[in-house]
Amino acid sequence: MYRADEKRYELMEYRRCGRSGLLLPLISLGLWHNFGEKADLSTMKKMIFTAFDNGITHFDLANNYGPGPGSAEINFGKILKEEMSSYRDEMIISTKAGYLMWPGPYGDMGSRKYLIASIDQSLKRLDLEYVDIFYHHRMDPDTPLEETMGALEQIVRSGKALYAGLSNYDGPTLERAVKILEDRNVPFVIAQNCYNILNRTVEENGLKDAVKKNGKGLICYSPLAQGMLTDRYLNGIPSDSRVRTDGRFLKEEQVSGENLERIRELNSIAQQRGQTLAEMALAWLLSDDAVTSVIVGASRPEQIETNLKAIRNITFSHDELERIDILSQ
């Protein structure tokens, strides 16, 4: 049976989700990849234990995480039950629904039917009575927003989730959702979106301004831009890289030519700061007062420990920020 490090809260810092009472660690662990059917259970345990031993209390899932869909929840639930059940009240466990999960018209998007069925399935896979945060995973232009928000309201009121969240929303839609949820006294506390030095969509679509205006938290996924903001591609594309093995999320043209030169210049700034490129990329996000936490992924425990070094220095000079902004364009 796992026993947590008694010093786990000494180094980690925690930030409030907007104006809510909920605190999240600066670094959260995402289980999107590497926790699926073919993953090694021993390695999964070591990653979760390493995270928790270092004060990472937030574990982020979704119904379709794996691969295959549902398997990350099953594996995390197994580890939690067998090794960490005594620490449940020290954890924030989140899951989501909004992408394709099962065949037919009721296993996707944002209908009440899909979301209510999905939270029930997720809780069974996780072997939990509730999750701390339940997100709608993406906007659904074909379902009335009132229906989707009504489903979140029912999920929270039923005790199956403590807080509601929205993922991959833009600013105007989030503003409308805030009005609906606040009118119904639903504790919507956080938005989860892709945000990194190279992807400023949350600035362009008004999402970051909307969360600040409405007192909500912002948690960022893909903070390292699928590995572009690491040292992995500085000297070319490795044969075992995601570009070569899975081109869905990262294309060769993104890590070559002019883009590669920009990444190398960003790396030069990081070296001048005494950081790796990955550490600087995480620190850059955490220097933003709108950001509550960043979600990191990992395939082995050492990567988690390396990413944690970013929180040692999240202060940037005006000149550094300007240079980073120029290179990100």
- Report the distance separating Cα 223 and Cα 324, nearest Å: 15
Q: Which helix (H) or strand (E) holds 136?
A: strand 131-136
Q: According to the model, what pLDDT value does residue 156 have?
A: 98
> Which residue numbers in the chain have pLDDT < 50?
244
Whether the Cβ atoms of residue 261 and residue 254 lie closer than 8 Å to each other: no
Q: According to the model, what pLDDT value does residue 149 have?
A: 98
CA–CA distance from 11 to each of 6, 14, 53 (Å)?
12, 10, 10
List phi, psi (to 5°) of 98: 165, -20
Q: According to the model, what pLDDT value does residue 39 have?
A: 96
Contact partners, residue 169, CB within 8 Å, separation at least 6: 138, 139, 177, 191, 193, 207
Whether the Cβ atoms of residue 218 and residue 165 lie closer than 8 Å to each other: no
CA–CA distance from 80 to each of 47, 64, 66, 128 (Å)?
13, 19, 17, 9
pLDDT in tens, 125-165: 999 999 999 999 999 999 999 999 999 999 999 999 999 99
pLDDT in tens, 157-187: 999 999 999 999 999 999 999 999 999 999 9
What count of Cα atoms within 13 Å lies in the side-chain half-sphere of residue 203? 13
Buried b vs exposed e over 69-94: b needs ≥16 C-beta within 10 Å?
A: bbbbbbbbbbbbeeebeeeeeeebbb
What are the structural domains of the chain? 14-228+278-315 (3.20.20.100)
Q: According to the model, what pLDDT value does residue 243 have?
A: 53
- Provide the 10 A C-beta neighbour count for residue 258: 8
The token pair that represents 291 in the structure block: 């950001």
- Report the distance separating Cα 37 and Cα 78, nearest Å: 13
Contact partners, residue 300, CB within 8 Å, separation at least 6: 43, 46, 47
Q: Position 224: which residue type? A: L
Question: Which residues is 135 bridged to in the sheet?
Answer: 96, 165
Q: According to the model, what pLDDT value does residue 252 have?
A: 59
Q: According to the model, what pLDDT value does residue 244 have?
A: 46
pTM here is 0.95
Whether the Cβ atoms of residue 294 and residue 27 lie closer than 8 Å to each other: yes
Whether the Cβ atoms of residue 181 and residue 154 lie closer than 8 Å to each other: no
> What's the DSSP call for residue 83?
I
Sign of the dihedral defined by the CA atoms of residues 73, 76, 79, 83, in that order: negative
Q: According to the model, what pLDDT value does residue 233 have?
A: 79
pLDDT in tens, 232-265: 878 766 655 555 455 555 665 666 678 888 999 9
Mind giving me the DSSP string for 141-162? TTS-HHHHHHHHHHHHHTTSEE
Q: Position 12: which residue type? A: M
Q: Which of 204, 202, 176, 180 is nearest to 191 (CA)?
A: 202
Q: According to the model, what pLDDT value does residue 260 have?
A: 86
